[in-house]
Amino acid sequence: MSVAVSLSSTISVAGAGILALGDTSTTATVSGDSSVTIASRIPSSDEKSGRTAFLYSFLATGILGGAAAIVKVSTGDQDHQSDVGSITALGIAAYLAGPSIGHFYAGETRRAWIGVGIRGLIGLGFGAALVTLVDEGNDNDQSELGIALLAVGAGAMVFDIATAPRSARIHNEKVHRMSIGPASVGGAPGIRVDLGL
């Protein structure tokens, strides 16, 4: 019976900012002489690492882009016509999907798809500029627009890779809004539930 009481008596409500400090052990007094010893909060298996999110985005982009370069170099065809489909597919995957992999890992799928969409629109603009250059020859030089779109696309890739750790932090804040950890109430085992408001 004392275990059942201790399980229900250690529920506390705290702000999300306080939950991040749950790694230190504290002792609190609850109604009278019974002391509640709260054990260090055990990291949830649902938490995501910001470093891992960054590495996923960075490595996925680098590996896919590197694979496209390797296929291009390794082909025996001088004009690379035989492997143009593979090179294009790998390049597009590196550009569109690579930087978003860390956001998908962090559970921020909406943020990941927004990045894919923005880079897709930039890529379409770049493609349209190239088509215009080819169609109109040298009469209407839009090379500056093409270079600007290329720079913006590269910047969008770097931005998504750099902000992957932030997606992991956002995910972890959501997880911390309700965390469960061990506690001791008057010597009896218990569970502490933290609810972030």
**Residue 92 shares a structural domain with residue 12:** no
Are the CB atoms for 82 and 140 separated by under 8 Å? Answer: no
**Residue 123 shares a structural domain with residue 162:** yes
**Residue 41 shares a structural domain with residue 67:** no
**Residue 145 shares a structural domain with residue 184:** no
- Tell me the percentage of the chain whose pLDDT exceeds 70: 61
**Residue 115 shares a structural domain with residue 167:** yes
**Residue 164 shares a structural domain with residue 91:** yes
**Residue 79 shares a structural domain with residue 133:** yes
Per-residue pLDDT band at 129 (split at 50, 70, 90): confident
**Residue 110 shares a structural domain with residue 151:** yes
Give me the pLDDT at residue 56, please.
97
**Residue 81 shares a structural domain with residue 107:** yes
**Residue 71 shares a structural domain with residue 168:** yes
**Residue 68 shares a structural domain with residue 86:** yes
- Report how many domains make up the chain: 2
Per-residue pLDDT for 114 more than 80?
yes
57-110 pLDDT per residue, tens: 999 999 999 999 998 888 756 665 667 888 889 999 999 999 999 999 999 999
pTM: 0.63
**Residue 27 shares a structural domain with residue 65:** no
**By residue range, what is the domain housing residue 17?**
2-45+177-196
